[in-house]
């Protein structure tokens, strides 16, 4: 067990809550101690939902541990049924309640409720949130999808599919569904059921009527799709349509499953990303170093888009989704690097600093890390914060999603260049922070001397720094003021690399101070 201030995934019962909250007519009874209701805030505060999750907590207290906690659970199940009248219920235990071993499934079965009650076994000390969501959706599909049905011949009718994977608290899942529905409709394909988002238990009973399945988020829906393939003979595609090329492959794969022609849809692909990435304004971004970290679905997609559609250089890729480590390692090998498989944000921070990227694509945590390191960042994956659930339509998938990605990834670099230009002229007598407006200066106003920042003194050399917490401390030589000033003239998107190379140069030569000459010598050394 490790004490930490950040976790990329919650325990598996949070994944179960994501499924229950996404669906309608389903209720989750969670055997949990008082205080575990904090999870509601993930949906009401961060996702900005207008209703709390459909979850009933037993909220037993310490004083109840010497009594019959099983009776508390049975009462909670019975009361939840009477109050909410759901079509189906799922029951399980939180990580704390798991230690009591009250067997929620067996206790709920003993009540003999007139609705399906699906027990969940979510080992909180071995598995995490995405696995919990996947297992919950799989159990629901297995319990509610019913028996195989004989599908009628398709003559004269449009092909029909299911769309699987979107959940509550998912990164842009709501908007992705809109784009995927548009693509499928343009191909002449009808959607039978979207699940779990927006589906009822009764809808899951209709899954077998579709000819095939579309898996948008493999972490969530691949296990359920594999079950449907085996039971209902429904093939599926799990090509994730993020980026122009992946969307084209997705359209071709879906068209092949449906027996339709993809050409009209591909011919009218509306994404502006290919043109923008080749335009004069974007060519200076070619070869920019990018570090990627997130869930497997979005990290893999981001690496392929960065390398093949935006001409970036992928210098780091990683995920906290250990179940998809093999896929990440294979993708990393394509870029000549090693994948980072970890759920420790300190390892991620150390890897980002070592890679010296010019852009970070990651989660909410990487946003904080990049800010500390002075590197532009765009969020591409959960876990995310409230600003990543925008009121506007902002998909990641499909051709419109590619437009959104281009703006989200490229604009931080372009705006950073503008900031660099402002920084270059900040010391200029006419443009420094304390200078009066130029139209006032003409009328005799005098400029105010630029104030020192807090903690600065004229002629004082900054103290030596060390590497970030979580890594072995390495002493870094201090920078002379003139060298630091010269460093600021280097464009922001290579400044981090220049600083790291110069400090490495000084460290290898055991120099006590990084001077202007040291900066130039390091530049010449690494430029060979």
Specify binding-site residues for [4Fe-4S] cluster: 36
Q: Is the peptide bond before 208 cis (omega within 30 degrees of 0)?
A: no
Q: Which residues pair with 313 in a beta bridge?
A: 289
Which amino acids are annotated as binding site for substrate, given as ranges? 416-417
Instruction: State the Cα–Cα distance between residues 258 and 430, nearest whole angstrom.
Output: 66
* 281 in catalytic set: yes
Please count the other Cβ atoms lying within 10 Å of the Cβ belonging to residue 427.
Answer: 13
H or E, element range at 88: strand 88-93
Instruction: State the Cα–Cα distance between residues 94 and 58, nearest whole angstrom.
Output: 10
Instruction: State the Cα–Cα distance between residues 310 and 287, nearest whole angstrom.
Output: 9
Instruction: State the Cα–Cα distance between residues 429 and 340, nearest whole angstrom.
Output: 47
Among residues 459, 397, 431, which one has the least CA distance to residue 250?
Answer: 397
Instruction: State the Cα–Cα distance between residues 215 and 252, nearest whole angstrom.
Output: 15
H or E, element range at 218: helix 218-232
Instruction: State the Cα–Cα distance between residues 151 and 219, nearest whole angstrom.
Output: 29
Q: What is the DSSP string of 139-198?
A: HHHHHHS-S---PPP-TTS--EEEEE---TT-TTHHHHHHHHHHHHHHTT-EEEEEESTT
What region, left, alpha or beta, does residue 499 occupy, with left being phi > 0 and alpha being psi -120 to 50 degrees? alpha
Instruction: State the Cα–Cα distance between residues 175 and 393, nearest whole angstrom.
Output: 6
DSSP reduced 3-state for 466: coil
Among residues 354, 312, 346, which one has the least CA distance to residue 500?
Answer: 354
Q: Which of 40, 261, 281, 388 is catalytic?
A: 281
Instruction: State the Cα–Cα distance between residues 514 and 481, nearest whole angstrom.
Output: 9
Residue pointed to by tokens 């003409």: 442
- Spatial contact of 161 and 212, defined as CB atoms under 8 Å apart: yes
Enzyme catalytic residues: 281
């Amino acid at each position: 067990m490790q004490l930490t201030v950040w976790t990329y995934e919650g325990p598996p019962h949070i994944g179960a809550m994501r499924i229950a909250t996404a669906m309608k007519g389903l209720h989750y009874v969670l055997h949990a101690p008082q205080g575990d209701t904090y999870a509601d805030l993930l949906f009401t505060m961060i996702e900005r939902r207008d209703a709390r999750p459909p979850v009933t907590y037993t909220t037993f207290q310490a004083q109840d541990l010497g009594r019959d906690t099983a009776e508390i659970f049975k009462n909670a199940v019975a009361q939840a049924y009477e109050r909410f009248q759901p079509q189906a219920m799922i029951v399980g235990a939180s990580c704390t309640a798991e230690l009591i071993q009250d067997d929620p499934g067996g206790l709920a079965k003993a009540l003999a409720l007139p609705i399906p009650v699906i027990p969940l076994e979510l080992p909180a000390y071995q598995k995490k949130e995405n696995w919990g969501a996947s297992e919950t959706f799989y159990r629901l599909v297995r319990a509610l999808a019913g028996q195989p049905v004989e599908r009628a011949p398709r003559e004269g009718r449009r092909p029909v599919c299911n769309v699987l994977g979107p959940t509550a608290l998912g990164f842009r899942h709501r908007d992705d569904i809109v784009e995927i529905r548009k693509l499928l409709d343009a191909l002449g394909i009808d959607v039978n059921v979207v699940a779990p988002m927006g589906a009822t238990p009764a809808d899951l009973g209709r899954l077998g009527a579709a000819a095939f399945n579309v898996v948008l988020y493999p972490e969530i829906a691949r296990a359920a799709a594999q079950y449907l393939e085996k039971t209902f003979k429904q093939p599926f595609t799990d090509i994730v349509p993020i980026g122009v090329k992946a969307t084209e492959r997705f359209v071709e794969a879906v068209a092949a499953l449906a027996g339709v022609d993809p050409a009209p849809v591909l011919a009218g692909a509306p994404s502006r990303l290919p043109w923008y990435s080749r335009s004069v304004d974007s060519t200076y971004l070619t070869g920019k170093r990018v570090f990627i970290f997130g869930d497997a679905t979005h990290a893999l997609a981001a690496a392929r888009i960065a390398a093949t559609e935006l001409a970036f250089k992928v210098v780091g890729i990683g995920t906290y989704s250990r179940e998809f480590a093999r896929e990440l390692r294979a993708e990393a090998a394509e870029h000549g690097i090693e994948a980072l498989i970890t759920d420790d944000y300190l390892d991620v921070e150390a890897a980002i600093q070592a890679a010296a990227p010019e852009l970070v694509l990651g989660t909410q945590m990487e946003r904080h890390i990049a800010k500390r390191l002075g590197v532009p960042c765009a969020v591409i994956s959960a876990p995310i914060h409230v600003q990543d659930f925008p009121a506007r339509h902002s998909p990641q998938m499909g051709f419109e999603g590619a437009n959104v990605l281009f703006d989200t990834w490229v604009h931080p670099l372009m705006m950073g260049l503008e900031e660099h230009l402002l920084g270059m002229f900040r010391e200029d007598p006419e443009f420094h922070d304390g200078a009066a407006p130029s139209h006032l200066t003409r009328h005799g106003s005098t400029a105010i001397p630029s104030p020192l920042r807090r903690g600065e003194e004229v002629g004082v050399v900054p103290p030596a720094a060390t590497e970030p917490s979580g890594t072995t401390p390495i002493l870094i030589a201090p920078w002379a003021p003139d060298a630091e000033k010269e460093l600021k003239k280097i464009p922001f998107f290579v400044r981090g690399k220049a600083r790291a190379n110069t400090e490495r140069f000084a460290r290898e030569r055991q120099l006590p101070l990084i001077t202007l000459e040291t900066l130039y010598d390091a530049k010449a050394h690494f430029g060979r």
